[in-house]
Amino acid sequence: GDVRVYLDAGATASPVASTIIDATSFPPRVLRAGAIGVDRLREVVPEIEG
């Protein structure tokens, strides 16, 4: 599908790739784990898949 929202906060200090999440359905799912790991995301969204 088409990307409807894209957030860019500019350059980061981390050399690790960004984390990409599909939030178009519930539960959301991690498409690519990156600087923010799945465990940390689960602290905010316990149902997240990934």
Within 1-50, residue ranges assigned H as helices are: 38-44
Question: Which residue in the block uniquely carries the two structure tokens 């599909």?
Answer: 22
For the entire predicted model, the pTM comes to 0.70
Per domain, the residue ranges of the chain are 1-50
Q: Per-residue pLDDT for 49 more than 90?
A: yes
Q: What is the pLDDT of residue 35?
A: 87
Question: What would the mean pLDDT of 27-43 be, rounded to a whole number?
Answer: 93
Separation of alpha carbons 27 and 9, rounded Å: 24
Q: Per-residue pLDDT for 29 more than 90?
A: yes
Q: Per-residue pLDDT for 1 more than 80?
A: no
